[in-house]
Amino acid sequence: MKKNKILQQIKRYSLLFIGAIIYAAGLEIFLVPNNVIDGGVVGIAIMISYLSGWPFWVFLILVNIPFIYLGYQQIGKTFTISTLFAILSLSYWTNVFLPIPGLTDDLFLASAFGGIILGVGVGLIVRYGGSLDGTEIVAILMDRRTSFSVGEFVMVINLFILSAAGLVFGWDRAMYSLFTYYIASKVIDITIKGLDESKGVIIVSDYSADITAALMDRLGRGVTVLHGEGAYSNNPKKVLYAVITRLEIAKLKAIVEEIDEKAFVTISDVYDVFGGTFRKKAIH
């Protein structure tokens, strides 16, 4: 058990380190040479570095210090250590990549490819329990105390930061920065969830036994049968629950409609799946 825990920690910090390398490459090879920024603390650090002439990594650490302390007090030790490790790794790698000239001076290409690479880097770091952006820590805490969601709060903060980029670098760079931020946010989602994004499916049908057999036999997925009751009729109902991938949605719909056109089906996003029997069974 102890050996497994050590291996998990090695895996986590290795991937946090790799995520920092990828993020640093996106910054120093595509964005910084073209005065295009990312949102959050990284964007603030880039602008202060540009105005002061001091190295970017100095401000990345300094600006993040109060947020790291806040995260330690309010969120937890593990998250704080992972975040600190990721930030220090990014600081190191931005120094390594500094002598490398930008690959392109085309703003569209720099913004697009920079956003993709940044998204992969941040996605890895978030997936393995860290963060590069102190504003996300504030957003998590505000989510607990206000009606704003984490995403809404981060978006508002980044609108201010990207507006400031317009004053520092010019409004065309601010618009390209917004484009980069949008691309990065989409790639982050893909990196965290994977291309085979999981979906939770609930099915209510009078033919639950037939649907269960078909899903297990033709789709190769396990099904959990829950026992419910119709609120109007008070009749007992069998409610089916299964987790599938995004690519299997169309096939599941076809199977259910073939057996019971009147079946009630809901499909929702599943953030993560572990344990149980999610792994697909062999279909004969």
- C-alpha 128, offset from chain centre: 10
Same domain assignment for residues 188 and 83: yes
Q: Residue 112 sits in which domain range? A: 2-193
Together in a domain, 76 and 120: yes
119 lies in a domain? yes
Q: Are residues 186 and 221 in the same domain?
A: no
Residues 6+ apart with CB under 8 A from 23: 90, 93, 117, 118, 121, 122, 125, 132
Considering the domain boundaries, does residue 100 fall inside one?
A: yes
Q: Contact 60/131 with Cβ under 8 angstroms? A: no
Please give the pLDDT value at position 228: 84
- What pLDDT digit, counting tens, does each position of 119-138 carry? 999 888 888 888 887 777 77
Same domain, 18 and 54: yes
Same domain assignment for residues 79 and 130: yes
pLDDT for the residue 38? 83
Read off the pLDDT of residues 183-212 as tens digits, 9 standing for 90 and up: 988 888 778 766 556 789 999 998 999 999
259 domain-assigned: yes
Q: Are residues 244 and 159 part of one domain?
A: no
226 and 121 share a domain? no
Q: Positive or negative CA dihedral for 231, 233, 237, 243?
A: negative
- Beta strands 224-229 and 198-204 are unpaired
280, part of any domain: no
Same domain, 173 and 130: yes
Q: For residue 81, give the amino acid letter.
A: I
Q: Is residue 142 part of a domain?
A: yes
CATH number of 253's domain: 3.30.70.120
Q: Are 207 and 258 part of one and the same domain?
A: yes
Q: Mapping DSSP to helix (H, G, I), strand (E, B) and coil, where does residue 278 land?
A: coil
Looking at the domain assignment, is residue 274 inside a domain? Answer: no
Phi, psi for 267 (deg, rounded to 5):
-130, 125
Question: Which residue's entry shows tokens 């490398």?
Answer: 100
**Domain stops at, among 193, 214, 234:** 193
Please tell me whether residue 269 adopts helix, strand or coil conformation: strand
Asked if residue 237 belongs to a domain, the reply is yes
Q: Of 144, 159, 193, which residue constitutes the final position of a domain?
A: 193
Distances (CA, A) of 264 to 161, 202, 203, 248, 260: 45, 8, 6, 18, 9
pLDDT at res. 98: 63
H-type helices in the chain, by residue range? Answer: 2-26, 40-52, 56-74, 77-97, 107-127, 134-145, 150-169, 171-193, 208-214, 249-259
Are 248 and 126 in a shared domain?
no
* Residue 98 φ then ψ, to 5°: -55, -40
Q: Is residue 277 part of a domain?
A: no
Instruction: Kindly compute the dihedral angle of the four CA atoms of residues 167, 168, 173, 176, in this order, to the nearest 10 degrees.
Output: -80
Kindly state whether residues 160 and 207 are assigned to the same domain: no
Residue 137, Cβ density class (10 Å: 0-12 exposed, 13-18 middle, ≥19 buried): buried
The pLDDT score that the predictor gives to residue 144 is 63
Q: Count of domains in the chain?
A: 2
**Which segments of the chain have a pLDDT < 50?**
282, 284
Statement to judge: residues 139 and 184 lie in one domain: yes
Instruction: Choose the final residue of a domain: 193, 225, 251.
Output: 193
